[in-house]
Amino acid sequence: MKNINTRGFEGFYRKYSEKDLKKMMDEVYDALHKQFKSEISLGYDGCKELLGALLLFKYDKKMEEKITIGICKLFQNRFDCLDFSEYMEGVIEYSEITMEEWIDIYDYLERNHKWIENHRCV
């Protein structure tokens, strides 16, 4: 079993409760849905990626603008989930986290946050 990292990105996102993550996802979804008058359907993996991007946004302040641009493109229907995934790979390249840490968040969300399967962005 993997030791829980109390520092770095993993330690950061593990501090969020299920309630906090749901609230974060709902607030962003509602605001962008209202702003762009667009509903998005990302599928389960895309929804996990969006939540991961929101967490990275909060963790790595220098990536805020790039992440915001990518998320807005989703709601403007300029990106589909594959485009967003590829875009985020580029963001990760310049962020404070490694690609391995980025992949780890998917596993963490899948194991610990089944509610994502029923979120309206899925």
CA-to-CA distance for 119 and 55, rounded, in angstroms? 17
Q: What is the domain extent for residue 40? A: 24-118
pLDDT band at 61 (very low <50, low <70, confident <90, very high): very high
Which of 2-6, 12-16, 28-32, 77-81 is least confident? 2-6
**22 or 5: which leads in pLDDT:** 22
| pLDDT tens digits along 62-119 | 999 999 999 999 999 999 999 999 999 999 999 999 999 999 999 999 999 999 999 9
User: Residue 39: its pLDDT value, please?
Assistant: 83
CB–CB of 14/20 below 8 Å?
A: no
Q: How far apart are CA 87 and CA 59, in angstroms?
A: 18
Examine residue 39 and state whether it is found in any structural domain, yes or no. yes
The domain total for the chain is 1
Expressed in angstroms, the distance from the first to the final Cα of the chain is 30
For residue 4, pLDDT over 80 is answered with: no
**Are the C-beta atoms of residues 56 and 9 closer than 8 Å to each other?**
yes
Answer yes or no: is 105 within a domain. Answer: yes
**Is the CB of residue 94 less than 8 Å from the CB of residue 88?**
no
State the average pLDDT over residues 1-19.
Answer: 76
